[in-house]
Structure formats: C-alpha cells, structure tokens
Structure 1
Amino acid sequence: MIQQKNNFKYITFQNLEKTNMVKHCITTRLGGVSEGVYAELNMSFTRGEQREKVLQNYDIVCNAMGFDKNSFVLCHQTHTTNILAVTEQHRGMGVTKNSTIKNTDGLITNIIGIQLTAFSADCTPILLLDVNKKAIGAVHAGWRGSVNSIVKKAIEKMTEYYGTNPSDIMAGIGPSIGQCCFQVDAPVVEEFRQKLYFANDVIQNDTIKGKYKIDLWETNKRILMDCGVKEQNIELSKICTMCHTDLFYSHRVMGNDRGNMAAIIALK
C-alpha cells in the first residue's frame, strides 16, 4: 500500500507490518532533493548524481522511517543469483563506509537493526521475513534473476544459515514492470520455458508478431510457493513501474538517465 510522510511517498506490505517485527519500505521517486533526470528521490550512488544529494535523500528516508543512516547495507547488483549473509562487519557498507559487496543481488541477515537494501527501476524487489527464526532478506529480481530463481536461492541460504522453514516466511513482491508492459523476444521466452516448468502460465503472446509479455510478479510468487511459502503469506504490490513513471523510475522508459528506488527491511 502507498503511504506518505510529509512529501515522502513509499510502499509498505501489510503482511510485514502486522508482524511488528520489522521496519520496511520501498521508496518511490517522490519526496527527495534530487534534480533533473534523478528527480526527486534517487537512492543509488552509482547513477552519476552528486553523492551529497543522495545522502540527503537517505536522511529524508531515515527521518520518516526511523532508520539509522549508519546501518544500511548496499550491494553492487549485476543480475546474478548471488546471496550474501550479512554480518555485523557489513553494517554501514555503501552509505557511511565503502562497500566490498560486489556481484550480489540478494542480502539476508538475522542481526537486529541492519537495513538490507535492494535497488530497482523496473526489476522486481522482494522482501522476506522469517517470523519464527527472526531473519530477513532483500532480493533484486530482474528477469534474469527471476528466471534463475534468485528468491529460491535466498530462501535456501536463509535455511542454511538461520534454520528457516519456508512455511514461516512472509514475502512482499514490490512494484516493478508489469505483464502489461514487459515485452520480450523469443529467446527470453525460450529461457523461461527451459528453466521454469510453469512458464506458459506467465507468458502471453503480444499483439505484435514474435513478441511476448511475461508476468514477473506471478513468476516470483510461483517460485516462492514452490519453495514452501504459503500463498496467503505472499503480498503483491501489483503496481507497474512503467505505467506509473510519475511515482517510479523506469529503466525501459528513461534508460540509464534516471535514479533508483530502494527496497529496505530491518529487524526491530
């Protein structure tokens, strides 16, 4: 659901809020100090914007959400399925100290107060909470991460490190490019069909010959359910970033001249 504090608009998941175990949000592009192509709330330090502006945006989000600026953990996302188990030594990496976390698209932890962060601008952000073992995850799932089941890799790592039972997981699938807009060519469709047994359930023929449209929300929901996450514990924002560029950055619309949203989660 969309919420607002002052000019800062953000998304939350009701299933996560009801647990009272985490602070979380997915930022929109509204409510910050970024200007030009980055306007208004760019959360990424790698887009080319002045670092000081991005830091001011972090201050705005921290003040609104009760986050600690020194406790973020960011990673350099490269459409992998690599997941990092975050420890105390990583606290602050990417915001208040340099990050050594490269080629990583998912973060998990069981440490209170560490704010796991995943960036997106059409790709699908996914937040995870194990309500029993008190562990969390933040995952960046573009089409490559989705077809390669990155969220499954995150759950497997939570099980390995924290003893997570998938039936105890609450999951939130955030705003990203919807099936309405996610047009792809035959090679992408073929990869989905090779790697996901349910691929035909999430693929539609487009009106343009040789083009198709894929539902990344349903793809990730099905992967979560196949892992053992209960359907009633999965919440979908169902907001298309490409349809709503007034609210979100969209790579397909804006190209590389844009900001990024951030999906953030921390244990209380």
Structure 2
Amino acid sequence: MTVSPHPPTPHPPTPHPPTPHSSTPHSSTPRPRTAAPENPGDAAEATGRHPWRTDPYTRALRAGRGPLFLRRADGRLLPLEVERWCAGADEADLTVLRRCTGAVLDIGCGPGRLVTALAELGRPALGVDTAPAAVGHTRERGGAALCRSVFEPLPGEGRWGSALLIDGNIGVGGDPAALLARVRELLAPGGLLLAEAAPAEVEERFQVRLDDGSGARSERHAPLFPWARLGRRALRALAGREGWTVVEEWSAYGRFFLSLRAAAPAAAIEAVTSAVADTASSHERS
C-alpha cells in the first residue's frame, strides 16, 4: 500500500483573507451552498469520491514526473504535465499571478508551485486539493494548503480577492457551471477568477480515470470520475451565461487564460437601484 507523505509540523499558517469593506452589504440570511455535482458510479467508494488519492497520482508526485494520464471511458488518453506541476512557476504562470488581487485561493493546487510563487511575490495564498500527497508537497515547499474539496466549507468564504482555476481545473467535478457558481460564493464582491482554457476549441464532459500507462489491472478497473474541458470560446460563452464578465483574455507560451469578474447579485443591484430612486424622490420633494 502506498503511504501518502505526512506534511511537516507545524503547518504553515493559513492566510487570512481581507475583511470586507464596511460598506459591503451583509444579509442575515445565509446563502445556500452550491451543491457538488453528482459523481456517477459507486459513490460509496472512497476512491470514487476522491480519485486523486489513488496510487498513480501519489507515485507521480513523489517521482516529480509522469507518465500520468486521464484515461477516458473510450480509451483515449489525456496526458498530465506532472513535471511542470512539480517545478517552479514558469513565465506563463507568472502572467496569471501578477494579475491577482487580494488574498488568493488556488483551487486544485496540486504540489503547490503557484501557492509558493504567490508567497514569494508577497501575496497571501491558500491552496486546496483533495489529494493528501499534493497538500503534503505544497506544505513542504512552504505554502499553506488544505486537503479539502472546493465544494466543502472553506475559510474566508465571500472574502477572497482572487481565485485560480489553472492546469485544466475548470474541469473539476465535470460541471463547469456548478464550479463557477461555487467560486462566486468564495470571492469577495468584485473579486477575480483567473482560469486557464484548453488550447483546443473544445467543450466536452466525460468520464475518466487516472492511469500511468503501465496497463496494470488495478488501474484498468479504477473508478471513473467526471471531468470537463473548455476552450476559450466555450469558457467565454459559459461565463456570460452564468453572469460573469470577461475582464481580459491573453495567451502566453502556448497557454490560454481568461480573467473573469462576477456580476453583482440581482438582490444587490435591486437594493442599489431602490436606494438611488429613494434619494432622487427625496430631493424632488425638498
């Protein structure tokens, strides 16, 4: 049995997201949490709920290299760039990190290269990942990370200045619309989502399993889990449908990124509109 590495003790402190400005309206009614997309298959299996905790991923992170793939149900392989994930942030990554504002939440942080780079840039950051091996690597590199799904309760909800969905993580859960809704809950008003799009113009949802290409029987029968891929056009269109504004699009070293800002909730817009109307009415009466 492969044993996941234990993170060092003590753990790095979790960065505290900035406190919302005092003028930000607060509601006494808690917002309903966005539900995680259903995971087809045997939901009772722990590896089905947390597929990134399986041995192929742990072994690849320990080695710092692949091969590692997402094997689709139709047999096609999508290569995963483990070597790049385990290295330091590259120039393409830095074009993303320099656009971040406030405290940053890295969703699906992997072995922590972006969390570490943000700390070096002087920006507070927290990584979240469902794989203990990934969280352990992030902490060993000096970054702060939690072993948790983005759909579980997280610190600082509604106060993060920026969130990252890099390295294909727009596909987490296989339902990009549900993921965007969840990120909206996590960000502060006016916060930014920086997301990486697939290099090809695709829009697809499918079932995959982790595979190291060895053909081992255990991997051929590993549980399937849902994933998604969106190219730039598909991500831009989905963002528009879900109430996000595209702030910027750019490419760097063959990778493609979008910066998105969530539109103000309808209730907030209605409250502001009503306040403006009341003010105008009072001026007219006076």
* Class of the TM-score when normalised by the shorter of the 2 chains: 0.3 to 0.5
Higher relative contact order (CA 8 A, sep 6+): 1
TM-score normalised per structure 2:
0.32
TM-score normalised per structure 1:
0.33
